[in-house]
Amino acid sequence: MEVTITNDGTKTRAVLKGRVDTTTVEGFQKDIVPLMEGENPDIELDCSDLDYTSSQGLRIFLMLQKSVIARGGKMVMANMKSQVKEVFDITGFSNIIKII
């Protein structure tokens, strides 16, 4: 699992690559710590290379969104692959997380 974070001043962009599963979830949680703080809370997560997420990964996305909202920002997930989108749909997460 790779997380590449870039910041253009107003919006933070994070490119996610790989799988979030039992073995990678802890590393992923650490990798996104920078996104959970700071004054420019708007985040776009680029999921074009995200292959899979387990329910543990969903939980992390949920907490990230909570953190963003608490700081008055917005979080969107973009370019999600269909098999990942399916997980978000089944669990109803696509109702509360903006997926573009």
Residue list 30-69, contact with another protein (CB under 8 A) = 52, 54-56, 58-60, 62-63, 66
Q: Which is nearer to another protein, 11 or 56 (CB)?
A: 56
Report, in Å, the least distance between residue 98 CB and another protein.
Answer: 14
Residue 49: CB atoms within 10 Å: 13
Q: Which is nearer to another protein, 11 or 60 (CB)?
A: 60
DSSP 79: S
Residue with tokens 């329910």: 55
CB of 14 to another protein, least distance (A): 18
- Per DSSP, 77 falls in state E
Q: Residue 53 is encoded by which pair of tokens?
A: 């997420």
